[in-house]
């Protein structure tokens, strides 16, 4: 009987830890949505990245994306 009680206790502890992680992810996503809404209200342009972009991408990814965009712009300018 004691063994079943310990198994149940461990299972509940794991469930609580998992639930806390899920709640933290939801709070983070809500924070990102709020940041983006404020960015749009304050006049964020279509050629800028929203605030959440910098929280969800590493510096290397950001530099890579910016370089790809620059290459696309140069390519389209050369075609004209």
**Which pLDDT tens digit goes with each residue over 12-55?**
999 999 999 999 999 999 999 999 898 888 888 766 788 888 88
Distance, CA of 24 to chain centre:
12
Q: Please state the pTM of the whole predicted model.
A: 0.64
Closest CA to 62 of 73, 49, 71: 49
**pLDDT over 70 at 70, yes or no:** yes
Per the structure, the complete domain to which residue 21 belongs is given by 2-79
Secondary structure of residue 50 in the 3-state scheme: coil
Domain count, the chain: 1
């Amino acid at each position: 009987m004691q063994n079943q009680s310990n198994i149940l206790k461990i299972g509940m502890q794991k469930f609580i830890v998992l639930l806390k992680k899920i709640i933290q992810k939801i709070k983070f996503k809500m924070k990102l949505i709020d940041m983006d809404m404020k960015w749009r209200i304050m006049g964020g342009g279509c050629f800028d990245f929203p605030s959440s972009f910098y929280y969800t991408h590493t510096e290397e990814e950001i530099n890579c994306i910016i370089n790809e965009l620059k290459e696309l712009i140069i390519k389209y300018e050369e075609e004209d």
